[in-house]
Structures are given as C-alpha cells and as structure tokens.
Amino acid sequence: MSTVWSGTALAEAIEAFAPGSVESSAGIDVWLKPESISAVCEGLKTRAEFKFDLLSSLTAVDYIDHFEVVYHLTSLPMNATAVLKSRVGIGRTDASIASVVSIWRGADYQEREVWDLMGIRFEGHPNHKRIMLWEGFPGHPLRKDYVTYDQSIVSTIPDATGGDK
C-alpha cells in the first residue's frame, strides 16, 4: 500500500535541508516559494529520506489572481507520494518558475504543455515551444480569461454561488 506524505511532515523535512523555502502546508499539500523550486526538487530527488525519483504529474491551475503550479511526486523505493505546489504570477503578471527538466526528464512535455495552454514560463527549459497548438496561436486557452473566437457561445453552467458564469 503506498503511503502519502503529510503536508506538515514534508514541510518540516524540507525546511531541514532548504530553510526558508516553504510558504505553508495543509493536508497533503506543501506550498513552496517559486524561487526555491530547483533546490528543493533536487534535494527531494537525491536525498535518502525522500528519494522521489518519479515525477508523476506537473500541471498548473488558474486561480484568478495567481497561478499555481502543482507537482505530484512518487518515490519508487519508498512507495510514497507527495504533492508540491507553488504560487506564481501573483497579480497575473510575469508568471514564471524554474524548470525541473534537468532534475526529472519527464517534465519536458508537461512543462511545454503548461506553457502552451496556461502561459507560465519555465526558465531553463531547453525546448521552450508550444506543443499542442501552433506557434503564433493567440493567447493561452486554459486561462480563465481566455476569450474564444466565437463570442456567441455562452456558458450555461451556473457557478458555485448559483449565478451564471
């Protein structure tokens, strides 16, 4: 049975080798500061108490005033999983974060997809191009403020408060 790292325990362990890199933690999530992603991920992969050698998933979510990059990590030797998050682009300006391709090669296509669809830059990615859409496509479609070509399509799903989106 695989174990899930608890957020607080993981945050303490990360602070132990990279102090000042954790913003907060709750449940199974740890929020890191964007500038410390490289150092923390390097440590999580190589240090003996973590051994996170498989990056399961790298994705991003658009919370209107900021973006959040989410990393799901798996450790094969210890059969454990963990979740890292990082808030970037506060105020929706200048959304960029260090690339982890040099640590986990599996981040290659996933980071390109986040750049393509969400518009977050990954500093240090060797092939920082769009992957699904063509170069020259206007905008980043998965953003919440993306305006589609056809303005006549109106959403009919009510949002959480019961009103219309």
Partner 1 sequence: MNQAFLDNSLWRNIYCVLAGDSAQCAARDYSPGMLPGGMEWLAFLLAAAAIVGLFVNGVLGGVIVLIWGERRLFGRFQSRTGPNRWGPWGTLTSVADAIKTMFKEDLVPAEADRILFNLAPILIAAPALMVFSVIPFGVGTYVADLNVGVLFIMAITSLTTLAVLTASWSSANRIAILSALRSVALLISYEIPMALAVVGVIMLAGSMSLGEIIQAQGVPFILVQPLGFFVFFLAAMAEMARAPFDLTEAESELAAGYLNDYASMKFGLFFLAEFMAEISTSAIITTLFLSGWRGFDPIPSHFWFGAKLIAVLFVIIWFRMTLPRLRIDQVLKFAWKGLFELTMINIVVTAILIFIWPQPTTAQLWYMAAVNWPVAIVSIWAVSKLLGTPAYEQTQPDLNAPTYPVGSEDIPASSAYVPEVKTQTSLQEGGD
Partner 2 sequence: MAIKTQPVTVNLGPQHPSTHGVFRMRVMFDGEEIVDVEPVFGYLHRGSEKLAEERTYTQIVTLTDRMDYVSSMLNNQAYILAVEKLAGIEPSPRGVWLRMIAAELQRIASHLVATGFLIQDLGALGTPLIYAMREREGILDLFEMLCGARITNSYLRPGGVFMDAPDEFWPALDRGLDDIVRTIDELETYLSGNEIIFSRTKGTAVLPPELLINASITGPMLRASGVDWDLRHRAPYDYYDKISFERKLHTASDNYARYWVRIQESRESVKIIKQCIEQIEPGSVRPSFDDVPRLIRPPVGDAYAAIEGSKGELGFYLVSDGGIAPYRMHVRASSLINLTLLRDMLIGGQFGDLFVTFGSIDLNMGEVDR
- Applying CB under 8 A, the residues found at the interface with partner 1 are 3-7, 9-10, 13, 27-28, 49, 51, 75-80, 160
Binding site partner of 9, from partner 1, partner 2, none, Cβ cut-off 5-8 A by kind: partner 1
Return the bridge partners of 24, or none. 31
- How many Å apart are CA 8 and CA 150, to the nearest integer? 46
Contact 100, 37 (CB under 8 A): yes
Give the interface with partner 2 as residue ranges (CB under 8 A): 1-2, 53-57, 59, 61-62, 70, 72, 76, 79, 81, 83, 104-110, 113, 117, 131-134, 141-142, 155, 157-160
Provide the minimum distance between the beta carbon of 12 and partner 2 in the complex, in angstroms, as a whole number.
Answer: 22
Contact 143, 119 (CB under 8 A): yes
Closest-CA residue to 53 (of 62, 44, 61): 44
Residue type, 79: N
Binding site partner of 142, from partner 1, partner 2, none, Cβ cut-off 5-8 A by kind: partner 2
Provide the minimum distance between the beta carbon of 9 and partner 1 in the complex, in angstroms, as a whole number.
Answer: 4
Return the bridge partners of 73, or none. 55, 82
Provide the minimum distance between the beta carbon of 105 and partner 1 in the complex, in angstroms, as a whole number.
Answer: 16
Q: At what angle do helices 37-46 and 7-17 cross, to 10 degrees?
A: 100
Provide the minimum distance between the beta carbon of 111 and partner 1 in the complex, in angstroms, as a whole number.
Answer: 25
